[in-house]
């Protein structure tokens, strides 16, 4: 690969990620080599590697391809210290400011913000409407109306995105405010460092000088007693001064194990809103927005009808996976110079699609089949041998064999401890009947569709 190629990537990133992000995350990277479609990039620390990989690897990949490099994947490796020419300097230690009212802006303990996580790029749907509205309200920077704002929800549903969006918005609307965003892990790290350096005063002064404090993934401090203690004091001090606090976690305050009760109840005092799992419309909306963006990046790349709908339907796990799929699809299509069709998507995303396949369980099959034939579940599992019960039982066995990866003995066990030969016989019987019995074929098809939907 030519050295201009990497230069091109850097130049493109410089345009999009913002000055601070560029200095913190991109500058320390060193391009190593490109072999067999894998670009190896050196990072100074695992932490930087993880961050860059999580937040910038899509963009880096895209720009590499845009510059003509034949690359399909990026690997980050931690370089031994001496090899890194430009390892970032540790920030000078916070000086205690005797008599000064506020610590320096530059000493604020926040983590960098991702330039892509803004309100503009956040797609609103039913599952996240409330969280979005609450975030918007806080981002106006007016009088504090609920404290804290507590956002919770599963991974990849947009908690971090919303928090960064609040921070960006506040920076424009209220540049006078000292806004700090950091993860609970970074909070702990800071705290431990302050303890080690015997510099708790500076730590306290710093955190209490903040106007808006956002702590991401607070479940991280569960079970970490002294960090919790300090967090609790910081929290109270800020609330007492009527400063806005925004917290995120992967579950509701009451459900975080090993979190002190007084903290739980403090966290519940404000507004608690959850981000629900995405629905089809939201997923499609997010895909459309991303696809528009990629369309501008990769000019001339065609996207066939139905591809986005297909992805929205099939990839239901979380938005991060959904985005990753689309990025890969565009990168791959531009590499091979083909239109993005359903076939291409199926080939290129086979692994993701397989992972997202809903797993049908034997229990679900038994339940659905009993309902369908109007028999009791206990009869399906019990010893009765009358046809009206034995036949649905065989159908359920057949479906269990076809739709799950369970072995015959395992299936037998789940059918009231039957022998595997009984299951085998049942499966065979249905296969025979299916051949001539139109009704049976239709029933099986209907059940299969219900189970797989």
Name the residues that contact ligand ADP, by CB under 6 A: 117, 121-123, 128, 153, 155-161, 286, 319-320, 323
Q: What's the closest the beta carbon of residue 152 comes to ligand ADP, in angstroms?
A: 9
Q: Which does 323 bind (CB under 5 to 8 A by kind): Mg ion, ligand ADP, none?
A: ligand ADP
**C-beta closer to ligand ADP: residue 151 or 444:** 151
Select the span of 9-17, 20-28, 77-85, 151-159 touching Mg ion (CB under 5 A). 151-159
Q: Which does 122 bind (CB under 5 to 8 A by kind): Mg ion, ligand ADP, none?
A: ligand ADP
Cis peptide before 183 (omega within 30 of 0): no
Choice from 42, 57, 59, 160 touching Mg ion (CB under 5 A): 160
Select the span of 77-85, 152-160, 289-297, 341-349 touching Mg ion (CB under 5 A). 152-160
Q: Which does 94 bind (CB under 5 to 8 A by kind): ligand ADP, Mg ion, none?
A: none
Q: How, if at all, do strands 38-43 and 179-183 pair?
A: unpaired
Q: Which does 426 bind (CB under 5 to 8 A by kind): ligand ADP, Mg ion, none?
A: none
**C-beta closer to ligand ADP: residue 293 or 376:** 293
Count of positions on this chain that bind Mg ion (CB under 5 A):
2
Shortest CA distance to 322 belongs to which of 288, 274, 360? 288
Is 42 near Mg ion (CB under 5 A)? no
Distance CA 371, CA 369 (A): 5
Q: What's the closest the beta carbon of residue 4 comes to ligand ADP, in angstroms?
A: 29
Q: What's the closest the beta carbon of residue 121 comes to ligand ADP, in angstroms?
A: 6
Distance CA 136, CA 268 (A): 20
Alpha carbons within 13 A on the beta-carbon side of 334: 25
Q: What's the closest the beta carbon of residue 139 comes to Mg ion, in angstroms?
A: 17
Q: Which does 157 bind (CB under 5 to 8 A by kind): ligand ADP, Mg ion, none?
A: ligand ADP
Alpha carbons within 13 A on the beta-carbon side of 280: 5
Q: Do 199 and 168 touch, CB atoms closer than 8 A?
A: no
Q: What's the closest the beta carbon of residue 37 comes to ligand ADP, in angstroms?
A: 24
Select the span of 81-89, 153-161, 233-241, 368-376 touching Mg ion (CB under 5 A). 153-161
Select the span of 54-62, 156-164, 293-301, 357-365 touching Mg ion (CB under 5 A). 156-164
**C-beta closer to Mg ion: residue 162 or 427:** 162
Q: Which does 213 bind (CB under 5 to 8 A by kind): ligand ADP, Mg ion, none?
A: none
**C-beta closer to ligand ADP: residue 244 or 278:** 278
Distance CA 32, CA 85 (A): 13
DSSP string, 294-311: HHHHSTT--B-TTHHHHH
- C-alpha dist (Å) from residue 143 to 133, 139, 147, 266, 417: 16, 11, 11, 20, 65
Long-range contacts of 30-33 (CB under 8 A, 24+ apart): 30/79, 30/84, 30/85, 31/1, 31/6, 32/77, 33/1
Select the span of 18-26, 154-162, 387-395, 398-406 touching Mg ion (CB under 5 A). 154-162
Is 278 near Mg ion (CB under 5 A)? no
Collapse the DSSP code of 73 into the 3-class scheme (helix H, G, I; strand E, B; otherwise coil) and give the result: strand
Q: Do 295 and 131 touch, CB atoms closer than 8 A?
A: no
Q: Which two tokens stand for residue 417?
A: 């401890």
Number of helices (H) and strands (E) in the chain: give both, helices first. Answer: 20, 8
- C-alpha dist (Å) from residue 101 to 36, 194, 198, 205, 208: 57, 20, 21, 10, 11
Q: What's the closest the beta carbon of residue 10 comes to Mg ion, in angstroms?
A: 27
Query: For residue 225, what is the enclosing H or E element?
Result: helix 225-240
Q: What's the closest the beta carbon of residue 245 comes to Mg ion, in angstroms?
A: 17
- Interacting residues toward Mg ion by CB under 5 A: 159-160
């Amino acid at each position: 690969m030519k050295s201009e190629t990497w230069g091109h990537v850097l130049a493109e990133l410089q345009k999009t990620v913002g000055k601070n992000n560029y200095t913190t995350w991109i500058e320390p990277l060193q391009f190593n080599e490109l072999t067999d479609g894998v670009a190896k990039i050196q990072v100074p620390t695992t932490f930087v590697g993880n961050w860059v990989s999580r937040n910038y690897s899509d963009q880096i990949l895209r720009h590499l391809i845009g510059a003509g490099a034949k690359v399909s994947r990026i690997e980050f490796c931690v370089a031994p210290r001496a090899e890194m020419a430009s390892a970032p300097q540790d920030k000078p230690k916070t000086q205690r400011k005797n008599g000064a009212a506020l610590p320096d802006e530059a000493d604020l303990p926040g983590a960098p913000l991702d330039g892509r996580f803004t309100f503009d790029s956040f797609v609103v749907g039913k599952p996240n409407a409330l969280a979005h509205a609450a975030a918007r309200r806080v981002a106006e920077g007016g009088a504090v109306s609920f404290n804290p704002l507590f956002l919770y929800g599963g991974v990849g549903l947009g908690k971090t995105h919303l928090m960064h969006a609040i921070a960006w918005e506040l920076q424009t609307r209220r540049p006078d405010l000292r806004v700090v965003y950091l993860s609970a892990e970074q909070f702990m790290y800071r705290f431990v460092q302050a303890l080690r350096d015997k510099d708790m005063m500076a730590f306290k002064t710093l955190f209490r000088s903040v106007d808006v404090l956002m702590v991401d993934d607070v479940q991280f401090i569960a079970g970490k007693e002294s960090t919790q203690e300090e967090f609790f004091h910081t929290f109270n001090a800020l609330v007492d001064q009527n400063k806005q606090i925004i917290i995120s976690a992967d579950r509701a305050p009451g459900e975080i194990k090993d979190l002190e009760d007084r903290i739980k109840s403090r966290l519940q005092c404000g507004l608690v809103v959850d981000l629900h799992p995405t629905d089809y419309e939201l997923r499609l909306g997010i895909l459309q927005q991303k696809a528009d963006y990629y369309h501008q990046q990769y000019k001339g790349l065609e996207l066939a009808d139905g591809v986005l709908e297909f992805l929205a339907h099939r990839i239901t796990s979380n938005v991060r996976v959904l985005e990753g799929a689309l990025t890969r699809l565009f990168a791959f299509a531009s590499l091979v110079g083909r239109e993005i069709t359903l076939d291409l998507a199926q080939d290129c995303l086979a692994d993701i699609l397989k992972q997202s396949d809903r797993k049908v369980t034997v229990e679900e099959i038994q339940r659905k089949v009993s309902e369908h034939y109007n028999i009791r579940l206990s009869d399906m599992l019990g010893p009765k041998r009358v046809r009206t019960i034995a036949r649905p039982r065989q159908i359920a066995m057949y479906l269990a064999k076809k739709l799950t990866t369970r072995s015959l003995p395992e299936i037998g066990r789940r059918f009231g401890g039957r022998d595997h030969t009984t299951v085998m016989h049942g499966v065979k019987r249905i296969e025979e009947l299916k051949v001539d019995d139109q009704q049976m074929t239709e029933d099986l098809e209907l059940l299969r569709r219900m189970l797989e939907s």
